[in-house]
Homo-oligomer: A and B are copies of this chain.
């Protein structure tokens, strides 16, 4: 008798894999969270708020989120330049799912840390 497991990746078209892969990078979820909490922000504001993201990776992360239609990018033709970012409607619709993840993290971090310590002992 053969078990029949639910698969998520056999086809590259799998929508769940297709989207989750995007969040499997280092910064996407955090950028969405920060933009969702703070509303409209400029590039350097996001950069300082996150603190340890490089300019390079913040740029590519924002461009990817823009391509996916989750973040809107508005350039003001001034010098020095001004660029504002905010979540789109689609991006906002993702927020509750991310904040629920974040609050789970907040509630369970103690247990996780304890577990990590035991494991490494």
A interface residue numbers (CB < 8 A to B): 3, 5-10, 15-21, 23-27, 29-30, 33-34, 37-38, 41, 45, 48-52, 66-70, 90, 93-94, 97-98, 100-102, 104-106, 108-109, 111-116, 119-120
State the CA gap A94–B32 with chains docked (Å).
20
State the CA gap A9–B94 with chains docked (Å).
21
State the CA gap A70–B15 with chains docked (Å).
25
4 extra A-B contacts, CB within 8 A, seeds A19-B109, A69-B111, A97-B101: A7-B50, A23-B101, A98-B101, A100-B100
Whether A20 contacts B15 in the complex (CB less than 8 A), given A34-B8, A97-B101, A108-B90, comes out as: no
State the CA gap A90–B112 with chains docked (Å).
9
Smallest CB separation, A98 vs chain B (Å): 8
Q: Is the CB of B100 within 8 A of A97?
A: yes
